[in-house]
């Protein structure tokens, strides 16, 4: 699994600017391809829900000499796990060259992500023979319809290796082997998916046992994609002593079941610098509210505060995530409050833009976007004192949208 930082992220830089003489500037989105994706292999391993010892099963006309017996409730129960409860043949008439009935397994119950790609299939058979000299594989093929080998597919039975004296798991196929056929998610999930297997006696009065048969499917889920676009309106004319507001809307579209999260930081924000600087003199800046630090979880409060508790007599640049036009699973009322108010309100909380060394999430959705766009709105608060030097101020804010691991 990939790490949380530096992977699968989209970055948007918003340019904040305005002129105190009265002409507002527009925040701009850069031309960055707003899409990322990831694909990684996964596996599922299952045992059969249905099993039988079938004469001539699998269309093998010569697999008709000896039926399998079982120690537990039935053949299926004995093959569920490597627990010592085995199916077996210990008949005195199971002699060299004789073949067992076919073990027909189906109804494995695989449940893969929709539109997964099948990479490979591995079969594991735990088996043994008396003295390590009495049995070996005869047939092993996969099925799409229970009991019927896939036409033209590989028979991966190892017809040369004699089964050992103690229970040992032999594997067939591989992480990228499809047994000379093609597979779809639906075929793997169907009740008919399974295998047919038969054994052969080596020597007279052969005794053989099988403890467990398991299928592991290696697959790649569909690529997880993330598209994010940030759009921003303008501040109105800035008048010292009067708070003004603007918004950015983050439009996210992802098929990731784990959801996404968003972080924000000011490119110039730091102990000796501010998000917004005078364009003609970078040493002059707009005072920032104490930079945002998220709670340990979305249900734990961060350091956002109401307007009346903002620093510098409320003459700061601050932001919050709004509840309006938002994705419910993304919103964190414990972080930002539950009310969208432009006046002082105990349930409307604001924080300063974080620095690049203190980047924390402003929201986290645990769901995909439902096949469409998920909108999340960030609101900005700005108020400056009468002593603020007039002129044009600008600064960069970076939004990062990341697929959750």
How many CB atoms lie under 10 A from the CB of residue 371? 7
Please state whether beta strands 224-232 and 168-173 pair in parallel, antiparallel, or not at all (unpaired): unpaired
Strand ranges of the sheet holding 224-232, from the earlier edge strand across to the other edge: 35-38, 224-232, 244-254, 374-382, 317-321
pLDDT, position 1: 30
- Which of these, 248, 277, 286, lies nearest to 396 by C-alpha position? 277
Say if residues 256 and 289 touch (Cβ distance below 8 Å).
Answer: no
- For the structural domain made of 42-220, what CATH number should be given? 2.60.120
pLDDT, position 20: 41
Tell if the pTM clears 0.85, that is, is over it. Answer: no
What residue ranges do the domains of the chain occupy?
9-38+224-403, 42-220
Instruction: Tell me which residue has tokens 């043949």.
Output: 89
Say if residues 127 and 90 touch (Cβ distance below 8 Å).
Answer: no
Phi, psi (deg, nearest 5) at residue 327: -85, 120
**Separation between Cα atoms, residue 213 and residue 49, nearest integer Å:** 11
Q: Going residue by residue through the chain, which has 405 residues, state the pLDDT in tens, using 9 for 90 and above.
A: 333 333 345 554 454 444 343 322 223 333 233 344 444 578 999 999 999 999 998 999 999 899 999 988 888 988 988 888 999 999 999 999 999 999 999 999 999 988 899 999 999 999 999 999 999 999 999 999 999 999 999 999 999 999 999 999 999 999 999 999 999 999 999 999 999 999 999 999 999 999 999 999 999 988 888 888 888 887 788 889 999 999 999 899 888 888 889 999 999 888 889 998 888 999 999 999 999 999 988 889 999 999 999 999 999 999 999 987 667 778 889 999 999 999 999 999 999 999 999 998 999 988 877 777 888 899 999 999 999 998 888 888 889 999 888
Three-point CA angle 333, 337, 341, nearest 5° = 135
């Amino acid at each position: 699994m990939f790490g949380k930082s530096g992977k699968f992220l989209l970055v948007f830089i918003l340019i904040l600017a305005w002129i105190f003489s009265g002409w507002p500037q527009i925040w701009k989105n850069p031309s960055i391809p707003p899409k990322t994706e990831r694909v990684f292999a996964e596996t599922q391993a299952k045992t059969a829900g249905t099993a039988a010892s079938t004469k001539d099963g699998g269309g093998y006309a010569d697999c008709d000499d000896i039926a399998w017996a079982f120690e537990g409730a039935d053949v299926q129960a004995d093959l569920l796990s490597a627990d010592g409860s085995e199916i077996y043949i210990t008949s005195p008439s199971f002699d060299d060259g004789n073949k067992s009935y076919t073990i027909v397994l189906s109804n494995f119950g695989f449940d893969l992500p929709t539109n997964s790609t099948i990479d490979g299939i591995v079969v594991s058979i735990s088996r043994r023979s008396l003295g390590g000299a009495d049995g070996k594989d005869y047939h092993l093929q996969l099925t799409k319809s229970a009991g019927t080998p896939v036409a033209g597919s590989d028979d991966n039975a190892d017809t040369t290796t004699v089964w050992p004296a103690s229970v040992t798991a032999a594997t067939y196929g591989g992480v990228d082997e499809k047994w000379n056929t093609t597979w779809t998610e639906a075929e793997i999930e169907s009740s008919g998916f399974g295998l047919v297997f038969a054994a052969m006696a080596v020597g007279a009065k052969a005794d053989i046992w099988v403890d467990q048969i398991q299928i592991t499917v290696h697959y790649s889920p569909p690529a997880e994609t993330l598209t994010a676009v940030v759009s921003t309106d303008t501040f109105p004319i800035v008048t010292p002593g009067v708070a003004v507001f603007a918004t950015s809307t983050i439009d996210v579209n992802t098929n990731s079941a784990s959801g996404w999260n968003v972080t924000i930081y000011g490119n110039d924000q730091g102990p000796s610098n501010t998000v917004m600087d005078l364009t003609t003199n970078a040493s002059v800046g707009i005072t920032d509210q104490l930079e945002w630090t998220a709670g340990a979880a979305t249900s734990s409060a961060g350091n956002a505060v109401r307007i009346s508790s903002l620093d510098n007599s409320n003459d700061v640049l601050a932001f919050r995530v709004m509840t309006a036009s938002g994705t419910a699973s993304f919103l964190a009322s414990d972080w930002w409050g539950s009310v969208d108010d432009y006046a002082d309100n105990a349930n409307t909380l604001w924080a300063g833009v974080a620095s690049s060394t203190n980047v924390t999430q402003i929201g986290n959705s645990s769901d995909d976007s439902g096949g469409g766009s998920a909108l999340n709105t960030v609101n900005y608060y700005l108020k400056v004192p009468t002593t603020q030097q007039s002129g044009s101020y600008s600064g960069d804010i970076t939004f990062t949208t990341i697929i959750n691991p």
